[in-house]
Amino acid sequence: MIVYVDIDGVLADYDRAYEEVRMGMPETKYPQSLPGFFTGLHPIQDAVTSFQVLSQHHDTYILTAPSNRNPLSYTEKRLWVEEHLGFDATEKLIICSNKGLLKGDILIDDNIDGKGQENFEGKLIKFDRRIKGAWQQIIQQLCG
Ligand SMILES: [Mg+2]
């Protein structure tokens, strides 16, 4: 199967970094526009190992939309993938503002629309990090 995995809110903890900037610098209107914002994101729990397991079972890609508030996001997302998922994973990185244009079987994303998720032809698995063991459930479902 062809599987796509989102970065922000699925592999990387966007919300935590966003809140940290807002707490430290409340005048910052767009925290995601700061240089280093995307390289500094912490991986979400179990995300890195789950990506490796998924990659062993399926043709797995990283599918993320760029931040139009931050032109550096293209480079920073690439650097994040290399640092946390390894050099080989950089060949699987797709940065695309319309996820509905891609062919595939599964899209794992924390949003069901906004970046073309609603038009994805395959199955959309909504990732909810608030669920304990969210990644484990997905691995069981797709690799069990
Ligand atoms: Mg996301």
Name the residue ranges covered by the structural domains of the chain: 2-143
- Please write the tens of the pLDDT for every residue from 65-98: 999 999 999 999 999 999 999 999 999 999 999 9
In angstroms, the CA 136 to CA 140 distance is 6
Tell me the three state secondary structure of residue 8: strand
Cα–Cα separations (whole angstroms), residue 108 to 21, 28, 52: 27, 30, 15
**Nearest by Cα to 127 from 50, 34, 65:** 50
CATH architecture observed for domain 2-143: 3-Layer(aba) Sandwich (3.40)
Cα(109) to ligand 1 centroid in Å equals: 6
In angstroms, the CA 13 to CA 33 distance is 16
* pTM score of the predicted model: 0.96
Q: Which residues surround ligand 1, an ion (CB under 5 A)?
A: 6, 8-9, 110
